Each structure stands twice: as C-alpha cells, then as structure tokens.
Structure 1
Amino acid sequence: MTSRALIRPAWTPATIALMVIGFMVYWPLGLAMIAYILWGDRLEAFRRDVNLATDRVAGSFRKGQGGFGFGAPRTGNVAFDDWRDRELARLDAERRRLQEASAEFEAYARELRRAKDQEEFDRFMAERRNRPSDVSPVVG
C-alpha cells in the first residue's frame, strides 16, 4: 500500500498510539485497532465482495426474478412458460402426496411401536403376577 495517510492499516506510531489508547479506554477498541492494523488493507476487497453479494440478492427480489421457490422468470415463449407452470404444479402436487404418505407411514409405525410396547408390558405384568412371592408380610 502506498498510502501516506496518518492512520492507515500499518504499524505506524499513530496506529500504535490509538491501539494503546483503545485498550486503556475500552479493551474491544484496542482489539479493533489491532484488527484494522493487521487486516485493514483487505477492507476494500471485502466491501466490494459484500456489495456484489448484496446486489445479487437484491436483484433476485426484483419483479419477475422469482427469488423464492420454483418461481422463475418468464422466458417470453408463452407455450414453454405454460408447460413449465403445469409441470411445476404437477411436481408440487406429487411433493404434497409424498409428504402425506410419509406422515401416514410415521403414524402407522408409531402405532406399531405402541402396540409392541403394550404387548411387552402386558407380558411383563403377567409374568410378575404368576411369579411366586418369597416375601412374607411383616408383622409389627
């Protein structure tokens, strides 16, 4: 970096003094100054990357860009756009059917587990009732 600014991301007397003062006033300020000294020259590239990413996200929210889900921009070919809309609706209906089948299977498996647990519990209780008791009542 060829900058001649007094406060620049480098180990200059001014930045060292600001770092020391930052630690004396409030320690996170001192840490922030160290971070600026070490990585400050990367701030311009970081800012440019953030701006590009923000522009891409904002562009996806513009009308017709379809920022969420299956929404896609119109191609200009009406027949293709209509076919794509029908296919997406069909796929969405298939997804809903699969989710319903999954929920039904979960309920079925839950009921099977409950029935198996009930059977094991009933068997345990029957064995417990039929077991001879070795303990005599305490007379006091």
Structure 2
Amino acid sequence: MADERPDVPREAVAEIRHGVMHLARRMRYARGPDALSNNKLLVLSHLYRRGPSTAGDVAAAEGQRPQSLTRVFAELEADGLIARARDDRDRRQAVLSLTAEGLAALRRDMDARDAWLAAALAGLGETEREVLRLAARLMDRLGEN
C-alpha cells in the first residue's frame, strides 16, 4: 500500500523532503536566465557521468520515456552539445555522446551553482559543512535505490 512506511517518523521524512526540495529549488535559481533547461542538463549530465549512451539508456536511467526526450536530443545535437553516431554492435541504434561544447555548457552551469553554494557554505562552521558532506553522500546512496 502507498501509505505504508518503514518505522521512520513522519516528521523526519517531511523535514528531509522539505530541506532537499528547498535547496534544489534554490540551486535552480542560482543558474542564469539563459541556462539550459532541466531536461537538457539531465541529458548532458548523464552523458558526462556514464559516457556515450543510447537514447533509450539515457531515458531509462533518468526515469523518462525516450519519446519525451526526442526534441531535447535533437536540440542538443543541433546546438553542437551532443553528437549522434551509429552503434557498432546494433546499427539500428544511435549512440549519443557529449561534445567539447556540451562539456563546456555543463561546466558553466555547474560553476554558477557551485559559486552560489560556496558562498552559502562560507556562512556555516566547519562541523556544519562536514555534516552536509556526509548528508550528501547519504543522499547519493539513497538516490541509487
């Protein structure tokens, strides 16, 4: 049943969810007005982390349907941010890869968010920053489930 939860206090779940969502929203605002869309960043980030991938692999890994990303793939390719080539093993498939321009665009986006986060972290003590680093590792682990 969807309402069943493990033995974790509802307040703790709500507080963590709220904190994660609030920080994610603030990080999005740190990006410039001409920043790439979330879906474009999702694709570029996937290709950066996992290397060349088929459209289906990108969509599946990111919890989307390939049809939902068709326009995104086409726009990224037209902008020179990704390249498309035939898969050597299955000529019916296309493999997407990150171009140098795509990597530069991704780095610009990360730099803008990192600059905001560094300034925000500067207002915290060393122990608080270490707690957040530990929490970040745990969130990464939770995100893999």
Under a length normalisation based on structure 2, what TM-score does the superposition of the two structures give? Answer: 0.23
Flag the structure with higher strand content: 2
Under a length normalisation based on structure 1, what TM-score does the superposition of the two structures give? Answer: 0.24
Structure whose alpha-carbon radius of gyration is higher: 1
Higher RCO structure, 1 or 2 (CA under 8 Å, sep 6+): 2
Flag the structure with higher helix content: 1
